[in-house]
Amino acid sequence: MKRAEHDQIPEAALAWHRAGKGAALATVIETWGSAPRQAGSQLAISGEGEMIGSVSGGCVEGAVITEALDALQDRKSRVLTFGVSDETAFAAGLACGGTIRVLVEPVGNGPEALPEALLAGLVEARAACRAAAVVTTLQTWDRRLLAPGTDAAADARFRSDRSGMEEDGRFIAVHNPALRLIVIGAVHIAQPLLQIARTCGYAPTLIDPRAAFGSADRFPGETILDDWPDEALAQLQPDARTAIVTLTHDPKLDDPAIRFALGSPVFYLGCLGSTRTHAKRVDRLTEAGFTPAQIARIHAPVGLDIGARTPAEIAVSVMAQITETLRR
């Protein structure tokens, strides 16, 4: 479950540092008003001016990069504040009307710098799909890398998947494993859906026992399982950070996956098919012993009603509904 390249921000900072280029990591620690990026959003900057990620909609990145390059020289971390209240918004603020505080940390040596060992530990945890949190005490620049179950405040943020400041002056940056999307059915819609999901930060997996459908030629670079859907899901162990979408509208393939998903804590289950198709699906699930409350978890017909017609438009509607379910 490799993260999308644009989400490899701590990884890029570590690689630049180890390559001798120098690296700094900028992290949004607080927001007020209509800020474009939430707390925990990151931007990595190399000593050669390379960058990956963002801390705003583009309106403060220039100033942050300048401060990051200065931090690489003086080896001191700093907290920057950007906001808008007058005509100077576009010069050094947020055109959308919000305010943000950004922590800028040089990687490597120095009493205020982000230690290479801590950053390497974070990168290792992310690669192993383990939840981890970097806790920084801003007054002292003390930093710790925490796993779930070691700090009550961090655990609360793991559960809410929200980084942020604590009343005691600590900033807790949460790094949960990537969200997962499991798609049943290597049909045309699945092709743009997997791409869109990855862009949105999901680690997608495609399941289809039909070799002609789930081929590497049709889905280059994707993780494809050719087991029967319920058997594949048993291996994947979907959790509360997982969305499942069934696209075959063939009961032989979709129903085993749906039955498995309804017994799991997935946050989203969507099923392709018309209203009539879903009515028949509900009858089969009812006969199988599922309750109305369980069946009501299914989003069907799948996707938001945006008038989508093409496979790509349907994929957009599905990803929009997954996002709506997750965030609201």
- What's residue 97's pLDDT? 58
Q: What is the pLDDT of residue 3?
A: 61
Region 179-327: CATH code: 3.40.50.720
What's the pLDDT score for residue 60?
86
CATH 3.40.50.720 positions along the chain are 179-327
Kindly report, residue by residue over 84-94, the tens digit of the pLDDT.
543 444 454 45
**Measured between alpha carbons, how far is residue 227 from residues 5, 184, 219, 255 in Å?**
28, 11, 16, 14
Res. 7 pLDDT band, cuts 50 70 90:
confident
Residue 89 has a pLDDT of: 42
Q: Is the pLDDT of residue 4 over 70?
A: no
Which one has a higher pLDDT value, 56 or 152? 152
Among 249, 237, 267, residue whose Cα is nearest residue 184 = 249
For the stretch 98-128, pLDDT in tens is 788 999 999 999 999 999 999 999 999 999 9
Regarding pTM above 0.85, the answer is: no
Q: Is the pLDDT of residue 244 over 80?
A: yes
* pLDDT (0 to 100) of residue 88: 41
Q: The dihedral of CA 178, 320, 205, 283: what is its sign? A: positive
Structure tokens at 23: 């690296």
pLDDT reported for residue 35: 63
Query: What integer is the mean pLDDT of 178-198?
Result: 96
pLDDT band (50, 70, 90) for residue 95: low
Q: Average pLDDT, whole number, for the chain?
A: 92
Give CA angle at 304 (298, 306), nearest 5°: 155
309 φ, ψ (degrees, to nearest 5) = -125, -45
Residue 144: predicted pLDDT? 97
Q: What percent of the chain has pLDDT over 70?
A: 93
